[in-house]
């Protein structure tokens, strides 16, 4: 169909409602169309009107093959820490969605675990949004990748403050068990005082 439209003179890069054909193909989970559009020279990292890129859409849709397609492109991996005005960095987006597999892929591809998603955003880095949303398993993953538990934001001074503000008991327990991260980024388990009940 795209070949017919292209022969008829249709501009495949044209935008509609802020997105282009690449954005629509990601929303529809159509990897063949994405591959074709890239072969025709379309930018598969282009932003829509709110700054959302195809990688953000792939994360929202849990379209893992679309995300993998993007992560295999070296130039796109270089922009992996770039935030959109709408949903922050790709890692922040994955943390909000609670998608552990995608978060781990992003981290392995070079996503900075402590990147602050949006200037002025009260939730700060990916760890904080995972805490707010109650994604305890993802909190563990982010901590294991060196997430800083004490990033200052306009509202919160620590991951624990976020977890308490959103009453996320399981996350609070995870944070208490992990304790504070040391300078090297490794997470050291919290050792109870002798007087504490074990």
In a domain, 159, yes or no: yes
Q: What is the pLDDT of residue 10?
A: 52
Instruction: Write down the pTM of the prediction.
Output: 0.80
pLDDT tens series, the chain, 198 aa: 555 445 545 555 656 666 888 998 999 999 999 999 999 888 888 888 878 899 999 999 999 999 999 988 876 667 888 887 778 899 999 999 999 999 999 999 999 999 886 655 666 899 999 999 999 999 999 999 999 999 988 889 999 999 999 999 999 999 999 865 443 344 444 444 444 443
Query: Could you tell me the end-to-end alpha-carbon distance of the chain, in angstroms, rounded to an integer?
Result: 65
List the domain range (segments joined by +) for residue 120. 112-198
Residue 136 resides in a domain: yes
Per-residue pLDDT, 4: 46
**Dihedral in degrees, nearest 10, Cα atoms 159, 161, 163, 166:** -140
Supply the pLDDT for residue 42. Answer: 87
Report angle CA 105, 92, 64 to the nearest 5 degrees.
Answer: 35
pLDDT of residue 195: 45
Residue 60 lies in a domain: no
Report which of 139, 144, 137 is spatially closest to residue 125, judged by C-alpha positions. Answer: 139
Number of domains in the chain: 1
Tens-place pLDDT, residues 111-130: 999 988 665 566 689 999 99
pLDDT of residue 124: 84
The reply to whether 42 falls in a domain is: no
Task: Supply the pLDDT for residue 49.
Answer: 82
Helices (H), 98-134: 100-108, 126-133
The answer to the question of residue 105 being in a domain is: no
* CATH of residue 156: 1.25.40.20
User: How many Å apart are CA 193 and CA 171, to the nearest integer?
Assistant: 21
Per the structure block, which two tokens stand in for 96? 């909000």
- pLDDT number for residue 74: 73
Name the token pair of 151: 């990033």
């Amino acid at each position: 169909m795209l070949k017919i439209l292209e022969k008829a003179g249709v501009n495949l890069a044209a935008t509609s409602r802020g997105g282009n054909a690449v954005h629509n193909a990601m929303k529809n989970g159509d990897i063949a169309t994405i591959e074709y559009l890239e072969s025709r020279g379309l930018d598969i990292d282009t932003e829509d009107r709110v700054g959302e890129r195809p990688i953000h859409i792939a994360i929202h849709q849990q379209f893992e093959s679309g995300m993998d397609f993007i992560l295999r492109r070296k130039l796109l991996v270089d922009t992996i820490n770039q935030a959109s005005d709408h949903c922050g960095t790709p890692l922040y987006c994955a943390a909000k969605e609670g998608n552990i597999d995608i978060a781990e892929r992003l981290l392995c591809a070079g996503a900075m675990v402590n990147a602050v998603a949006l200037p002025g955003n009260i939730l700060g880095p990916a760890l904080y949004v995972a805490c707010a949303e109650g994604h305890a398993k993802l909190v563990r993953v982010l901590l294991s990748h060196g997430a800083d538990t004490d990033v200052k934001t306009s509202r919160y001074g620590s991951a624990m403050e976020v977890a308490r503000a959103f009453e996320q008991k399981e996350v609070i327990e995870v944070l208490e068990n992990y304790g504070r991260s040391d300078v090297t980024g490794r997470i050291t388990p919290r050792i109870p005082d002798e007087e504490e009940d074990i």
